[in-house]
Structure 1
Amino acid sequence: MTWLSNSITGLGLLFLAHACYSAHEHSALHSTSTASISSIVSHGTSAPTVASLPLDISLETIVAVFTVCLGLVLGTPELRPIQWRVWAGKIEREGEKGFMNGDGQTDKDYVGNPFKVLESRPGFIDIRKQRKEFAEWVREGGGTSAAPKS
């Protein structure tokens, strides 16, 4: 992540922490004021009232969440192609330079040419060539057994 996305995310987390603290203080203040009112009116049975959060705390929470999301989105690396052939073609064209992150370092999951294993494997077996060599070996007498014929 770059310094800009880190700072935006940090600022959003600071706003979110402040909004959470403000909501906690509001609920604590409301519960103590409700308790003092209910102690004055001890004989009446009234249902406890539920106070909603003030508009400024709700807005601060929403803005903080969007700020954190913005910072995280700005810090994400570029998405890679889904299709294997497109991704392999990018590796062959651009090499290691195509997989550098924002800090100028190569991504940790860059493995190089994905077809290296296929290109370095031994060739296929030539069955026709082996059949021809076997037929010549039999004609030369390699196929006769040393057992006496009866």
Structure 2
Amino acid sequence: MTWISNSITGLGLIFLTHAGYSAHEHSALYSTSAATLASISSHGGTTPTVASLPLDISIETIVAIFMICLGLVLGTPELRPIQWRVWAGKIEREGEDGFIGGDGEVEKDYVGNPFRALESRPGFVDIRKQRREFAAWVREGGQPAPASKS
């Protein structure tokens, strides 16, 4: 799909360039003819009228801009979910295969499982359990365990 969007965008840019050049040529030709008419009309006393841009140049400009917008929209990657948990779920289900772009390579912002740090962290510390174990240890005499010699 990338080559289609690039070709549509390129064709739109060519049309837009042609429309700009045509508008420039029209204004240059009009200014030359207006100067000639002004010199003629200064003898006759009438003022020249202002010419607007021809309809075909205006239509070409609008079509070119529409084509450029269409090509850019077709070339955008798929939108990611707003909720991070949905995106992370897709990573866990599909892995790298779910993030292969139009060029066949893994996207640059693929980082793997985003929950890996949460899944590999140690469990929560139970302070009350540790306090009971310490109290039991103190009641038993509180002697440190001998270090094993290896």
The bucket for the TM-score relative to the shorter chain is: 0.7 to 0.9
Distance 1:63 1:81 in 2: 33
Alignment map for 1:7-22 (pairs within 5 Å)? 7-22=7-22
Structure 2: gaps of 5 or more residues: 143-150
Q: Which residue of 2 aligns with 1:51?
A: 51
Q: Which residue of 1 aligns with 2:122?
A: 122
**Deviation for aligned residue 1:133:** 2.4
Indicate the RMSD between aligned Cα atoms, in angstroms: 1.9
Provide, for residues 11-37 of structure 1, a one-character-per-residue CA deviation record: whole Å limited to 9, x for no partner: 110000000000111111111111111
Alignment map for 1:74-85 (pairs within 5 Å)? 74-85=74-85
Provide, for residues 31-74 of structure 1, a one-character-per-residue CA deviation record: whole Å limited to 9, x for no partner: 1111111122336474x643211111011111111111111111
Distance 1:124 1:140 in 2: 27
Q: Structure 1 residue 62 and structure 2 residue 62: aligned?
A: yes
The alignment-based identity, stated in percent, is 82
Alignment map for 1:1-150 (pairs within 5 Å)? 2-42=2-42, 44=45, 46=47, 49-140=49-140
TM-score, scaled relative to structure 2: 0.85
**Deviation for aligned residue 1:140:** 4.5
Distance 1:42 1:120 in 2: 89
Distance 1:62 1:41 in 2: 36
Structure 1: gaps of 5 or more residues: 143-150
